Amino acid sequence: MSRIAGKVVAVTGASSGIGEATVRLLAGRGASVVLGARRVAQIENIAAEVRGRGGAAIACATDVTRREDLERLVDSAVQEFGRLDVLVNNAGISKIGPMSNIDVDGWSAMIDVNVKGVLHGIAAALPVFQRQGSGHFVTTVSTAGLMVVPDMAVYAATKNAVRTLLEGLRQESTDGVVRTTAISPGFVRTELDSSIDDVAVRERIRRSMDDFGLSPDAVAEAVAFAVEQPRGVEIGEMTVRPTVQN
């Protein structure tokens, strides 16, 4: 039997892409799932499909820039299923483009979603994990932070900020209570490009996604691998990229 069976997992950014794929995969392996996203109709439909296949799932409207929304997501998991074992901090946006565009609003939006959104998740779930004596943060980072390239400086900075936060939390959590995992995907066929305002950059990123991007299922498998490890094993970081990507 999979060690995922029986776990309670909450996922942000669950309405499409990596988040949706993760929900479907973990639910299929026996986890109870709590879907969080701003697009409520979509997560309600996905949750209904999971339940229709015999799984356990609920949807919770979640804007990760709002701390109270993450608290409600975590509370919903505990109230519905009795506990929360894993929080997958997956929501993210990509307002990429040359720094010469001076897109201060885009920079701020990425900080609010990509960095503060993760912190809000940690703030909401950490007390629950400590009270339970166990818990696992799995966070979607990016290969953009591993190899910084033009047009992605601020986006990469937000992802590296999260990588640093997770490492700090890991070092503060060597009592075995909290596990942290950072997963850095390369190009994946998702809707992430929809948040890019620079038309030329958006079209280039979309072409790369379509030409050689991974299926979101590949990243979901990485999440599952981290989650199913025995309690004394922590998968700290994983990189999942297409074989043809630099």
pLDDT on residue 86: 98
φ, ψ at 237 (rounded to 5°): -145, 145
pLDDT in tens, 58-105: 999 999 999 999 999 999 999 999 999 999 999 999 988 899 999 999
Nearest Cα neighbor of 44 from 14, 70, 8, 69 is 14
Signed CA dihedral, 79, 83, 88, 89: sign only: positive
> Residue 111 above 90 pLDDT?
yes
Asked if CATH classification 3.40.50.720 holds for the domain at 8-240, the reply, yes or no, is yes
Does the pLDDT of residue 1 top 70, yes or no?
Answer: no
Band of pLDDT at residue 26, cut at 50, 70 and 90:
very high
- DSSP lists the bridge partners of residue 178 as 135
**Per-domain residue ranges of the chain:** 8-240
| Total-model pTM | 0.93
**Cα–Cα distance measured from residue 81 to residue 179, given in angstroms and rounded to the nearest whole number:** 21
E-strand stretches of the chain = 8-12, 32-37, 56-61, 86-89, 135-140, 178-185, 237-240
Taking residues 115-130, report their average pLDDT: 98
User: How distant, in Å, are the alpha carbons of 131, 143, 179 from that of 147?
Assistant: 38, 6, 26
CA distance 129 to 134: 5
3-class DSSP state for residue 220? helix
pLDDT in tens, 98-107: 999 999 999 9
- Ramachandran bin of 176, using left for φ above 0, alpha for ψ from -120 to 50, beta for the remaining angles: left
Q: What share of the chain is helix, strand, coil (3-state, %, to 5)?
A: 50, 15, 35
Active site residues: 155
31-47 pLDDT, tens digit per residue, is 999 999 999 999 999 99
Q: Which of 238, 236, 244 lies closest to 142 in space, CA to CA?
A: 238
